[in-house]
């Protein structure tokens, strides 16, 4: 029993802290590179160059974090959409993140490579699923009294990520897309999608960790304190 509890704690802690560590590591790494523009360039661009191994390892951390959150959802809800479909989505996102880390994106203006194409496919296994993941879990939060205080927060997070993603596709676009209105803010919009989503994962994983010991009647922000 103690071994099972320790394993459960590991998954909860990795799910809680891993995505935020990923974001922090990418932020610090970007600040250490004078040639890198965090507003204009995506996080994936950090995987290029001699120090690319730092971001590639960082992708590995995020992949483990997403898989840990899938385990947390499965153990917490066991069945239904939140306990079966949502973990499957996070497992798919895990594959996308690991592919993104293994295959480096092409440099702007460089001839397309197989690795760059696979990296682009990896992105489609992650970003479109971000709002879907939140929407899959939200109905369970609405029905379960223990999680009801997380329903509105989860729904708002899902719609915010969806709106930001649509804005990205229509007006910003991936690095190799056609002309867009705001092509110079790819990195900024990407971060505006990821940080709220990572924060939501951290709060839900933390609440799930404490679920057996309290009724989860507080708001998400109160639970974070």
Domain housing 75: 2-224
Give percent helix, percent strand, percent coil of the chain, each to the nearest 5: 75, 0, 25
* Mean pLDDT on 162-188: 85
Say whether pLDDT at 5 is over 80: no
pLDDT in tens, 59-84: 999 999 999 999 999 999 988 899 99
Query: Which tokens go with 201?
Result: 């994962």
Per-residue pLDDT tens over the stretch 85-133:
999 999 999 999 999 999 999 998 889 999 999 999 999 999 999 999 9
Half-sphere exposure of residue 207: CA atoms within 13 angstroms, side-chain side: 26
Total number of domains in the chain: 1
Confidence bin at 175 (pLDDT 50/70/90): low
**What's the whole-model pTM score?**
0.89
Please state, in angstroms and rounded to a whole number, the distance separating the CA atoms of residues 200 and 224.
10
Q: How many C-alpha atoms does 20 have within 13 Å on its Cβ side?
A: 12
User: Of the candidates 29, 41, 1, 19, which has an alpha carbon nearest to the alpha carbon of residue 186?
Assistant: 41
Q: What is the pLDDT of residue 109?
A: 83
Whole-number average pLDDT of the chain: 89
Q: Is the pLDDT of residue 155 over 90?
A: yes
């Amino acid at each position: 029993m103690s071994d099972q509890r320790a394993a459960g704690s590991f998954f909860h802690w990795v799910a809680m802290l891993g995505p935020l560590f990923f974001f922090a590591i990418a932020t610090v790494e970007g600040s250490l590179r004078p040639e890198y523009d965090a507003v204009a360039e995506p996080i994936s661009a950090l995987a290029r160059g001699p120090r690319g191994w730092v971001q590639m390892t960082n992708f590995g951390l995020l992949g483990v974090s997403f898989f840990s959150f899938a385990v947390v959802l499965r153990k917490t809800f066991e069945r239904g959409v939140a306990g079966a479909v949502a973990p499957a989505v996070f497992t798919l996102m895990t594959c996308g993140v690991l592919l993104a880390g293994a295959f480096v994106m092409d440099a702007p203006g460089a001839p397309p490579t197989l690795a760059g194409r696979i990296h682009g496919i990896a992105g489609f296994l992650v970003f479109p699923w971000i709002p879907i993941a939140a929407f899959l879990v939200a109905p369970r939060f609405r029905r379960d009294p223990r999680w009801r205080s997380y329903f509105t927060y989860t729904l708002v997070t899902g719609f915010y990520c969806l709106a930001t993603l649509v804005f990205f596709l229509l007006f910003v676009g991936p690095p190799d897309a056609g002309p867009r209105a705001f092509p110079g803010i790819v990195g900024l919009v990407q971060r505006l999608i990821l940080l709220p989503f990572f924060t939501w994962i951290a709060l839900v994983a933390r609440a799930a960790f404490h679920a057996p010991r309290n009724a989860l009647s507080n708001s998400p922000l109160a639970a974070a304190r």
